[in-house]
Homo-oligomer: A and B are copies of this chain.
Amino acid sequence: MSENKDQTRVRIRVVFGDRGMIGPGKADLLDGIDRRGSIAAAGREMGMSYKRAWELIGTLNAMFRAPLVTRTRGGAGGGGAALTETGREVLALYRRMEDETAQAGAAQLDTLQGLLRDIPDEK
């Protein structure tokens, strides 16, 4: 939200053949659940419907040997959600891949940016 308009980012999508994929959306959702302790709140943050957020978590939970997200009981709100150990591991691996990618591709990225058309300042 406080993102620089000119900020260049590289996003990655890991496709495990027919076994599923993980990309920016699922990673950000896991991140949100970790921060907010709730699937609904994490989805809302991303402008994602409750149904869609649950579907993505269902897909992720079925994709790996162990679930990535677990429901937590109790609390006034009737229980939330949290990342499991596997969930934290998968998210950390994905974020590490993003970092490595940004570093590995830094030279090409600079060259690509230099080829972009200049946009006159708006406002």
Q: Please classify how large the interface on chain A is, using the bins under 10, 10 to 19, 20 to 34, 35 or more.
A: 35 or more
Task: Tell whether, in the assembled complex, residue A116 and residue B19 are in contact, meaning their CB atoms are under 8 Å apart.
Answer: yes
Interface residues of A in 28-50 (CB under 8 A from B): none
Residue in B6, B65, B94, B111 whose CB lies within 8 Å of A19? B6
Closest-CB distance, A58 to chain B (whole angstroms): 13
Residues of B within 8 A of A65 (CB): 115-118
Interface residues of A in 12-26 (CB under 8 A from B): 12-20, 22
Known: A97-B104, A100-B104. 8 other contacts (CB 8 A): A13-B13, A62-B117, A63-B117, A64-B116, A96-B108, A97-B105, A97-B109, A100-B101
Which residues of A come within 8 Å of B, CB atoms?
Answer: 3-20, 22, 62-66, 86, 89-90, 93-94, 96-97, 100-101, 103-105, 108-109, 111-113, 115-119
